[in-house]
Structure 1
């Protein structure tokens, strides 16, 4: 059974999903910015060295990184050449490290 006819709709679907995930990432950053500014304005300490402000934006950035990674994984599934896989590995590694250290900083700020 030849299922090659399914490749084009799959590629189109992945393209749409990739766009949705990347859009969600941008929305997370924008929403995080708005919420962070609001938190900073409401805070008596202001923006300087305020753990609540850092926590707010850090959580939104962490979510945005997850959406970006998912979009990159989807893109690589429909075009799995060696160059794309190496690029995905590098991106995933960098984003995972960013997310790991961001999560650690969030945890430290939440404790204080």
Structure 2
């Protein structure tokens, strides 16, 4: 029995370290995504000095991809927390994060597909323009 208790304690410590690591990665993804988005926005502003129109969709989709990655890590952290201490609060957190992640990924994928389609149409229109 003592061996089992030692194993359970070790498993809890491992799970807690894994959860903390995943949550840290989640926060870092948001931070890196924010910095990358600010950098991209700044670069685009410099490139498009004479235009007030920034390609908002590309900037937003780029940041959304970072948020999606952060949610993946957060979901992993919640799964680890739920498996070691399955209580109502952990299960609700897991469900909420999974739901948000699912919706975000669905709409991101849809918008990225639409953006790709629009770029393809714009390229084919440029290729068909008489010179």
In structure 2, the partner of 1:21 is 22
Contact preservation (8 Å) 1:55, 1:109: no
C-alpha root-mean-square deviation of aligned residues, in Å?
A: 2.3
Cα distance per residue 1:39-92 (max 9 Å; x no partner): 1111126785522211221111110010000000000011124x2334423432
1:80 is paired with a residue whose SS is coil
**What does 1:28-107 correspond to in 2, within 5 Å?**
28-43=29-44, 44=48, 48-81=54-87, 83=88, 84-107=90-113
Structure 1 unaligned spans of 5+: none
Deviation at 1:12?
0.9
Larger Rg: 2
Deviation at 1:11?
0.8
Change (3 A) 1:46 1:35: farther
Contact preservation (8 Å) 1:73, 1:88: yes
Deviation at 1:96?
2.0
Q: Which of the pair has the greater relative contact order for Cα pairs under 8 Å at 6+ separation?
A: 1
Contact preservation (8 Å) 1:28, 1:63: yes
TM-score, normalised with respect to structure 1: 0.81
Q: Distance in 2 between matches of 1:86 and 1:53?
A: 32
TM-score, normalised with respect to structure 2: 0.71
